[in-house]
């Protein structure tokens, strides 16, 4: 008997490959569309759920193929309504996703992971202290959206409104999986969500940002900036040594000219490191080349990191300086801190 590991995940097939497979099995071509809908629209986790296929065909498929669906391993609920889910992958690796409900704005956002761990080693991020074990498959990213959407419906009686690729990992280093997952999430024969409700975040890989521009993507781009000069950014984000701010600004300007997409800078403030008026002045300079929205984020301390959270006063002064210089800015108060679900805290802790 063929082992589970040897079976190919049916979700790795394109619709054309599925059609060829069913013809090879002596089945009619339309069966491929039925299976494709079960996989990508209905989130089927087994062939047994595909009730419009004959029992014989389902058994035939399960003999040679598998659906490596992710499984809920642990759920934590914050006092502020945030829900963190830990998922177990078919190879027993663990990843995390976060549901962030803001009922007052009618926003229900899922923050999805794109890698098991991360290789970028940003000094302030818990995920960055983990090794990157592998990229997450496109289907496993879609699974996160499907399962957290179910969670949103059950808990808040409301579907997801937004998706942010801001969980574990660097999305642009899992480029193929991320792009395929977005294609399936936005496709009419997939989850049919608007790409304008999707934001992909990056620590800043210039050549991949340009590639997004060349592909004229319709989703939004967020740069995890966190420092507005190279010296400080090199200190906290090693990726900046190969992708300095000048290269990043050139690539994002290129992205904007190609896509006219929304661009945001994520800026975590650290006490007495990047929260001075001089830092704000440097940030203003980076906001003048193309339209950009700055999200100032409270720091969430993690074990082993040398940073402290900025004071409310420093954050307010920083934001005011940006606003006074015509920069669109939002101060985001952290959600889910009590369950280690806030920005930079995802690390599969028990």
Catalytic residue numbers read 96, 343
How distant, in Å, are the alpha carbons of 72, 171, 262 from that of 214? 37, 17, 16
Read off φ and ψ for residue 37, nearest 5 degrees: -70, -40
Strand pairing of 162-165 and 198-202?
A: parallel
d(CA 297, CA 292): 16
The full 3-state SS of 70-128, as one line of letters, equals: CEEEEEEECCCCCEEEEEECCCCCEEEEEEEEEHHHCEEEEECCCEECCCCCCCCCCHH
d(CA 172, CA 205): 7
Q: Cβ–Cβ contacts within 10 Å for residue 295, how many?
A: 17
User: 172, 205 in Cβ contact below 8 A?
Assistant: yes
Angle in degrees, 0-180, between the axes of helices 15-24 and 30-40, rounded to the nearest 10: 130
User: 170, 203 in Cβ contact below 8 A?
Assistant: yes
């Amino acid at each position: 008997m063929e082992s589970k590991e040897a079976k190919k995940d049916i979700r790795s097939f394109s619709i054309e490959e599925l059609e060829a497979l069913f013809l090879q099995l002596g089945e009619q071509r339309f069966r491929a569309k039925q299976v494709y809908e079960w996989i990508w629209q209905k989130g089927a986790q087994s062939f047994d759920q595909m009730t419009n296929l004959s029992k014989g065909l389902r058994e035939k498929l399960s003999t040679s193929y598998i659906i490596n669906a992710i499984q809920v391993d642990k759920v934590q609920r914050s006092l502020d309504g945030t829900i963190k889910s830990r998922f177990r992958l078919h190879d027993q690796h663990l990843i995390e996703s976060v549901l962030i409900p803001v009922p007052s704005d009618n926003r229900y956002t899922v923050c999805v992971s794109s890698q098991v761990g991360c290789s970028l080693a940003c000094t302030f991020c818990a995920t960055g202290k983990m090794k990157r074990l592998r990229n997450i498959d496109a289907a496993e990213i879609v699974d996160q959206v499907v399962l957290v959407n179910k969670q949103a419906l059950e808990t808040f009686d409301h579907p997801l409104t937004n998706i942010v690729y801001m969980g574990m990992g660097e999305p642009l280093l899992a480029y193929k999986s991320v792009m395929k997952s977005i294609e399936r999430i936005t496709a009419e024969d997939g989850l049919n969500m608007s790409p304008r409700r999707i934001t992909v975040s990056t620590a800043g890989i210039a050549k991949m940002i340009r590639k997004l521009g060349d592909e004229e993507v319709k989703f939004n781009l967020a740069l995890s900036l966190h420092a507005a000069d190279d010296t400080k950014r090199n200190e906290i984000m090693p990726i900046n040594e190969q992708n300095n701010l000048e290269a990043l600004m050139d690539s994002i300007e290129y992205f904007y000219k190609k896509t006219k997409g929304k661009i945001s800078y994520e800026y975590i403030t650290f006490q007495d490191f990047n929260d001075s008026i001089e830092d704000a002045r440097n940030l203003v300079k980076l906001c003048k080349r193309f339209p950009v929205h700055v999200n100032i984020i409270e720091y969430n301390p993690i074990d082993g990191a040398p940073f402290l959270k900025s004071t409310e006063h420093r954050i307010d002064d920083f934001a005011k300086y940006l606003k006074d210089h015509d920069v669109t800015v939002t101060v985001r108060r952290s959600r889910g801190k009590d369950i280690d679900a806030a920005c930079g805290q995802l690390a599969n802790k028990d």
